[in-house]
Amino acid sequence: MEGLKKEILLSFFPKITSKRYQKILAFFNSLDDAWKANKDEWKNTNWKKEVIDEFFIWKENIDEEKINKILNEEKMKCLTIDSPNYPKLLKKVYDPPFCLFVRGELNSEDYFLAVVGPRKNSFYGKQMTEKMVSELSQKGLIIVSGLAFGIDSIAHKTCLKNNTKTIAVLGSGIDKNSIYPKNHIYLAEEIIQKGGAVISEYPPGTTSNIFTFPRRNRIIAGMSYGVFIIEAREKSGALITASYGLESGREIFTIPQNINSETSAGTNNLLKQGANLITDSQEIMEILNLQNLKQYVKNKKILGDTKEEKEILKFLSYEAIHVDDIIKKTKISSQKINSALVLMEMKGLIKNLGGMMYILKN
56-94 burial, b for 16+ CB within 10 Å, e for fewer? eebeeeeeeeebeebbeebebbbbbeebebbbebbeebe
Pair 116, 180 in one domain: yes
> Which pLDDT does position 345 carry in this prediction?
85
> Which pLDDT does position 301 carry in this prediction?
57
Pair 275, 175 in one domain: yes
Q: Does a structural domain hold residue 97?
A: no
- Given 70, 93, 111, which residue is the final one in a domain? 70
> Which pLDDT does position 313 carry in this prediction?
85
| Cα-based distances in Å from 82 to 5, 20, 182, 317 | 11, 19, 32, 23
Pair 277, 181 in one domain: yes
**95 phi and psi angles, rounded to 5 deg:** -135, 75
User: Could you list the mean pLDDT of each consecutive 10-residue stretch along the chain, which spans 362 residues?
Assistant: 81 90 92 94 94 96 92 92 92 92 93 96 96 96 97 98 97 95 96 97 93 94 97 90 93 93 92 94 94 72 71 84 93 91 83 90 69
CATH number of the domain residue 329 falls in: 1.10.10.10
Q: Does a structural domain hold residue 93?
A: no
Q: How far apart are CA 241 and CA 229, in angstroms?
A: 9
What pTM value is reported for the model? Answer: 0.81
Contact by Cβ (8 Å): 146, 295: no
> Which pLDDT does position 240 carry in this prediction?
93
> Which pLDDT does position 1 carry in this prediction?
39
Q: Does a structural domain hold residue 311?
A: yes
Tally of domains within the chain: 3
Q: How far apart are CA 118 and CA 135, in angstroms?
A: 21
Q: How far apart are CA 11 and CA 19, in angstroms?
A: 13
Q: Does a structural domain hold residue 301?
A: yes
CA 32 to chain CA centroid, Å, is 27
Pair 56, 142 in one domain: no
SS3 80: strand
SS3 79: strand
Q: Does a structural domain hold residue 7?
A: yes
Tell me the β-bridge partners of 352: 358
Q: How far apart are CA 247 and CA 250, in angstroms?
A: 8
Range of the domain at 18: 1-70
> E-assigned strands of the chain?
77-80, 99-104, 112-116, 142-145, 166-169, 197-200, 226-229, 251-254, 276-277, 321-322, 350-354, 357-360
Ramachandran sector of residue 266 (left: φ over 0; alpha: ψ -120 to 50; beta: rest): alpha
Residues in the chain: 362
SS3 272: helix
Pair 277, 297 in one domain: no
Pair 311, 207 in one domain: no
| Cα-based distances in Å from 8 to 80, 201, 203, 222 | 7, 10, 9, 21
Contact by Cβ (8 Å): 114, 85: no
CATH number of the domain residue 222 falls in: 3.40.50.450
* CA dihedral sign, ordered 187, 191, 193, 194: positive
Among residues 95, 114, 108, the alpha carbon closest in space to that of 168 is found at 114
Pair 220, 180 in one domain: yes
